[in-house]
Structure 1
Amino acid sequence: MPTFFKINNLEKQSIEVPGTRSEGATGHYRHSAFVGGLVDHIREAPHVKTLYDLFETSASKHSELEFLGRRSYDPVTKTYGRYTWETYAQIRQRINEFGSGLMHINEVVLGSDQLDRWSLGIWSLGRPEWFVSEMSCNYYNNISVPLYDSLGPDAVEYVINHAEVRMVSCSANHIATLLQNSHKLPTLKAIVSMDSFTNPATLPGTANAAEVLRAWGAEKGIKIYDFYEVEALGRAFPRKHIPPKPDDVASLCYTSGTTGQPKGVMLTHRNFIAAVGTNREGMRLGPGDVTISYLPLAHIMGRLSETSASFSGCKIGYFKGDILTLMDDVAELKPTYFSAVPRLLNRLYARLVAATIDAPGLTGALARKGVEVKLANLEAGKGVDHPLWDRLIFNKVKMVLGGRVQVLLTGSAPIAKEVLNFLRVCFGCSVLEGYGSTEGLATATVTMADEYIPGHVGCPRAGCEIRLVDVPAMNYFSTDKPFPRGEIQIRGAMIFKGYYKDEKNTRETLDENGWLATGDIGFVDNRGCFTIIDRKKNIFKLAQGEYIAPEKIENTLTARCKLIMQIYVHGDSLESTLVAVVIPDPETFLPFANAVAGTQVTLADRAGYKRLIDDPKVNAAVMVELEKAGKAGKLRGFEFVKRVHLSTDMFSVENDMMTPTSKVRRPQVREYFSDKIQAMYEDIHRTTTVAKL
């Protein structure tokens, strides 16, 4: 089970290092146990300096332990069975073979220079082949370039060309896309399918899919292999490892920009090792721990989680690939450690609330009392366990996550206080909230295991220090009372090397002293804990001069209004009020709207659902819920939305209104809903005029 290194004094979690203040900035805040020096390596394994060292050490130490697992699939019954596992030794052998096979293809088949470093694109959902592909780059000193599974062809084209990707290891469903666009991909020379080509043709004398793909690839000048062929080549032509150096770039991790093209974050081996070492100073997983991998591995949070687990001797089970059936995978795997994002936890929270404290009769009454008692204990610093209420209610609730989860980590976006504490008492485990970015390898702050006060993102991790820098345009200053406020800047060994081929953005983000400007606004309280309160980017002024950070408002409303699946808050300098576009969550919205309209529409009745969406009474009722959520989130008066447009047109990667990391592309959403936005403002102006008359 996970082991925590608890802070000695929760009331003083970080300390401002004396003598480090400068004009326009606070001093440097460090974790109270690491004021004398930051962690920049894995302290129990000082010889581990690269990702190659990391897995060689782990595979030797844990060789016979089960490591990577996936659920077996019966194509006849079309059902999934139990997890099947490969050991650390087996995965290490596959890395050797796959890496050797790629080197043989690169040098012998493609005729490339033996000493040349090159980039391997990786494009699929999480699976053992993803890990093998990435780690093979570390064994032969090449560069991994993860591609988001939901990236459209245009973004894939940009990343492959920008990173000069020579080969792509991908799931079979992406091969056609790559070949269709191959005329735009001059550096791409080979594609490796993670799915086997061994299935025979259905009719004698007909070509199977593999033959068709190979012939198509030959026309385009691109070699097509399946994963097992490459491994076989590696067995036939084994290569010696080419260990990387700590400052070599291990991966180009492209951030999905909300406006322009994605930026290639250069992450070195030193960055990864510093992040793993830093994370182990707060919590250590070990043999016997199990985690589920379902977050996109092109996203740094999922990547760091998997890298840390691989050093610890853990088991990593991959989900089937369908987020809608994730809980079925969780029930089968029974993880001890679970990484999550607020969007998933908010939906889980809504379901648990409906089944417990909002349930009718005795069940609801008991749940409300149990939650009340456990929340009181938590707020008093007495922990999350209770012998009576756990036995009566919450041990059953724990089974939603398999019954064994000891640690639940959330990150990537803010989560509401009430959600955080409700999950803590329901699951009876440590619920940690972390904060970080791709440029800092997802490592900046985290809450403590025994934290009892919600609403902040904890203190600096052992390997980094933080300062707050004045933002005069937004009226945030390091001299503010009662607490210093400003832009959060981070420094440590996990901070990235820079943006690939992009000196301008590198200079704007990373200063000469190594400080990473995050663009997030925060304050630090008297316990040394940091709270995110605003965003420096994506801000605008209302007509009366008030600054608005729409993402903050969207996060506040989403966390507190269970009707919302997606939301876009809009305003500009010509208007004094905000409006919103909301895509309702059908699971919660449908019963709510039926109750308001007095109907019994089902989700299958699309015409009926559309009528509910357009019903003025339903719209007015949703506005009431948004107002309640705004008050609960302590929004200021000018931050409340005054009109809402309900729609079924979800923001997605496919329609270019969302990035692969679930960030709203604001200009695209504004353009798509421009008529509706204009209509909402016209209604506000008309109502205001009538009121004056």
Structure 2
Amino acid sequence: MDNYIKEEKTSLQSVEVPGAPEIPGEGKPRRNASSPDKLIDFPPGATTLYENFLHGIIESEGGNFLGHRQINQGIAGPYVWESYPEVQKRVANFGSGLRKLELDTKGILGFFSENNPQYVIGELACYQYNFILVPLYDILGIEAIEFIINQTEMKYCLTTANKARILLEMKEYLPTLKVIIISDEFDHDQDLIELAQEVNVKIIDFNTVENDGITNPIEAINPKPEDIATISYTSGTTGKPKGAVLSHKNFVSVIGSTNFLAEKGKFPKITKNDIHISHLPLAHVFERTNESIIIYHGASIGFYQGDILKLLDDIAELKPTIFVSVPRILNRIYDKVMASIKSKGGASQLLFNTAYNAKKNGLQKGHVDHWMWDKTIFSPIRAKFGGRMKTIISGSAPISSEVMDFLRISFSADVYEGYGQTENASGLTASQHGDTSSGHVGPPQACTEIKLVDVAEMSYTSKDKPHPRGEICVKGNALFQYYYKSPEKTAEVIDKKGWCHTGDVGMWDDLGRLVIIDRVKNIFKLAQGEYIAPEKIENVYQKHELVAQAFIHGDSLQSSLVAIIVPDPETLLPWAKNNNLGNYNYQELCNNSQVKKHILQTLQKYGRANGLKGFENVKNIHLTHEQFTLQNNLLTPTFKLKRHQAKIRYQKEINEIYSEIS
């Protein structure tokens, strides 16, 4: 092991593509060092997601597949399991039942549901019968759901009863929707049945569709690798969502990459004995890809109850070996453990800190284990999380080095950070086994190649020393085909040479690992994965009479937005006079805590009234009397905010107002 770690710390993890030409304004493409001469496409035995399932059935040897907790009088019981062979029958029956409902091959089936076994059974039926899966999810908003259903001309949708009601109440605006299949109990809900009749939508029970498939079996027409597996909509820009069209090959190539890297000792090896807890939304590609990898190896998937506040209880019951999550949840685990240690204080806290620092020093040498501290200090922490967690993967948004170190120290687990997008089936980069350093997202997946293209206006170039920098552009087997019915949006992202421009700015470090350092466009993610368009929010706030100028900032290691606000003196001074602050001048008012509190509360209320979602409203502000101008280099000649320069100028204030939130 020590020899491996030593090699990992000194060996390049990515290399330039052999024979790649020098092109002005961009660096040479790089590939994973384990596969420099070719991009991996398929894992052994699977070229589609249906074949991926068949492979998992064989690997499982009849073992557990889908597990859920039965809820009796509000109390969750133990996990109840269905085996791979049992699920295989249900998948075929449900797919056959969908065909009897006249859902055609390559027809669209919507999914609007929390994670549950029926979701996966329906998903696998799509893969077997060559239907196209189109997820819907609440966070995009009602307008986006309406847009997706109408753009895809969706006729059939698999939902839970609570989501079905949303669709039925929207039916006036959904002319194509004809059939809703409900995966949970609804027989007792006469109002729902009557509402469906009023709007002329057929609602049918999931089990009824299965039973129809048993009595009227219809042979499946299996997909080919190039067939569409899903149209996954993303809210990555302002305006209407975009539907990324992903093929079976796109997904399976990521499975092929992770399998290939595992065989090379660069990624965790998954076996039929592993257990994954499904809690990230299956509507997102990240979780769909993760579960497809789990399925390939015949491992088990247990679903959480659907309440994120009860996730830790589900983990303790399930005892998973694999935990794939996002920074928001991993940060919560970190905060919970650290708060518990701090509350004990005294000798307990001192002993924990001693053990923690000792293991942190060990990380620098590539060690995640300690013969004494693991048994005495960290075993109780691991026990609260089931005691068997061996692999932790973070994705969707950046995670701090502090939390990554905490996970390695506390769980003695292999901890990985990945980077991906919907447009690439989440298969761009991943850190490698044995690499215990943080602050990077690893080398390219073996199915993908990456190059950095100069962003001159932000002073990022492929010639930068000591590390090349630029916009991250990707190509390979995981790359999506196009945006559904949107050739102009496709052309904005995929250039004429077939490279996808991510909008993220990256840097290659000394070992050929990618570091995410900025965004090209004025769009960024918060820690929980929501995309933010700051100009939209600034335009809302600047309409308020108290605001002259606004700079919205979101740190992807934070879960909320903050703002630098220039108050309008013509409005602020009269307000101050009417609120016993008339003795203060404009600059003094900008430094006054009472004024800051008033403006913050006013903007939060104003934002809600003007349609800002909860995560779009700022949580804290800093007031400044200095205008953004051409002279101080905060405005362009066309009077647009120079966001990059504003971030540099106000970094100290941004850090302070974030610390006030925490």
Q: TM-score, normalised by structure 2?
A: 0.80
Match of 1:401 in 2: 385
Asked if 1:344 is matched to 2:329, the reply is: yes
Q: 1:72 aligns with which of 63, 70, 73?
A: 70
Name the structure 2 match of 1:28: 29
Report if the CA contact (8 A) 1:6-1:448 is conserved.
no
Q: 1:93 and 1:30, CA in 2 relative to 1: closer, same or farther beyond 3 A?
A: same
Matches within 5 A, 1:72-471: 72-75=70-73, 78-106=74-102, 117-198=106-187, 208-209=188-189, 211-280=190-259, 281=261, 282-356=267-341, 359-381=344-366, 383-471=367-455
One-letter amino acid of the structure 2 residue matched with residue 195 of structure 1: D
Alignment correspondent of 1:475: 459
Structure-1 separation of matches of 2:608 and 2:38? 43
| Aligned pair partner of 2:473 in 463, 481, 489 | 489
Distance in 2 between residues matched to 1:316 and 1:432, nearest whole Å: 20
| Shift in Å, 1:683 | 9.6
Matched, 1:59 2:38: no
Change (3 A) 1:393 1:644: farther
Task: Give the distance between the partners of 2:78 and 2:126, measured in 1 at CA.
Answer: 30
- RMSD value, Cα: 3.2
Partner of 1:555: 556
Q: What's 1:568 paired with?
A: 562
Distance 1:654 1:322 in 2: 28
2:369 aligned partner, one-letter code:
D
Q: Where does 1:8-27 land on structure 2 (aligned, <5 Å)?
A: 9-11=8-10, 12-20=12-20, 21-27=22-28
How far 1:63 sits from its partner (Å)?
Answer: 5.5
Distance apart, 1:652 and its partner CA: 12
1:462-517 deviations in whole A, cap 9, x for unaligned?
11111100001111100011110000111110110010001111111112332111
SS in 2 for 1:514: coil
Change (3 A) 1:85 1:421: same
How does 1:539-550 map onto structure 2 within 5 Å? none
CA distance in 1, matches of 2:606, 2:418: 26
Partner of 1:41: 42
- SS state of the match for residue 91, structure 1? helix
Cα offset, 1:73, TM superposition: 1.4
Distance in 1 (alpha carbons) for counterparts of 2:309 and 2:158: 26
Instruction: Decide whether aligned partners of structure 1 residues 422 and 684 sit closer, same or farther in structure 2, where only a CA change above 3 A counts.
Output: farther
- Written as runs of structure 1 = structure 2, the 5 A alignment for 1:676-687 is 680-681=623-624
Q: Note closer, same or farther for the CA distance 1:426–1:60 as it changes in structure 2 (3 Å cut).
A: closer
Q: Deviations over 1:560-600 (max 9, x none)?
A: xxxxx52334579x99xxxxxxxxxxxxxxxxxxxxxxxxx
How far 1:152 sits from its partner (Å)?
3.1
Do 2:268 and 2:391's aligned partners in 1 also have CA atoms closer than 8 Å? no
Q: Is the 8 A contact 1:523 1:533 kept in 2?
A: yes
Unpaired stretches in structure 1, ≥5 consecutive residues: 108-113, 199-207, 543-547, 559-564, 576-614, 621-642, 686-693
Encode CA deviations 1:262-301: one digit per residue, 9 max, x unaligned: 1001000110110111122233311110010000101111
In structure 1, distance between residues paired with 2:404 and 2:602: 29
DSSP 3-state at the match of 1:348: helix
Cα distance between partner residues in 2 of 1:84 and 1:452:
36
- CA 1:369–1:650: 2 relative to 1, 3 Å: farther
- Give the partner amino acid of 1:33: S
Q: Deviations over 1:394-439 (max 9, x none)?
A: 1111123211110110011111112211221111111111001000
What whole-Å deviation, never above 9, does each CA across 1:323-349 have from its counterpart, x for those lacking one?
A: 011000000000000011111111221
Shift in Å at residue 56 of structure 1?
2.3
Q: Residues 598-640 of structure 1: CA distance to partner in whole angstroms, max 9, x if unpaired?
A: xxxxxxxxxxxxxxxxx949989xxxxxxxxxxxxxxxxxxxx
| In structure 1, distance between residues paired with 2:602 and 2:393 | 32
Once residues 653 and 424 of structure 1 are traced to their aligned partners in structure 2, the CA distance between those partners, rounded to angstroms, is 40
Contact 2:274 2:322 in 1 (8 A): yes
Aligned partner of residue 102 in structure 2, secondary structure: helix
Output the CA distance in 2 between the equivalents of 1:647 and 1:259: 25
What displacement does 1:392 show?
Answer: 1.5
What's the TM-score once normalised by structure 1's chain length?
Answer: 0.77
| Cα deviation 1:136-167 (Å, max 9, x = unaligned) | 11111110001114443222111111111110
Q: Is the 8 A contact 1:397 1:426 kept in 2?
A: yes
Q: CA deviation at 1:55?
A: 1.2
Letter of the 1:26 counterpart = G
Q: Deviations over 1:335-366 (max 9, x none)?
A: 00001111111122122222236741011100
- Aligned mates of 1:430, 1:652 — CA distance in 2: 42
Give me the whole-angstrom Cα distance separating, in 1, the residues matched to 2:119 and 2:291. 11
1:586 paired residue number: none
Q: Once the two structures are superposed, what CA deviation does each residue of 1:228-247 show, in whole Å capped at 9, x if it has no partner? A: 11111111111101111111
Q: Which residue is 1:634 aligned to?
A: none
The correspondence for 1:521, drawn from 505, 514, 525, is 505
Instruction: State the shift of 1:531 in Å.
Output: 0.5
Q: What is the CA-CA distance between 1:14 and the residue it aligns to?
A: 1.0
CA contact (8 A) 1:121 1:146 kept: yes
Q: Is the 8 A contact 2:31 2:450 kept in 1?
A: yes
Taking the aligned partners of 2:107 and 2:133, their CA distance within structure 1 comes to 9
The alpha carbon displacement at 1:184 in A equals: 1.1
CA shift in 2, pair 1:619/1:88, >3 Å: farther
Counterpart-to-counterpart distance in 2, 1:497 and 1:549? 36
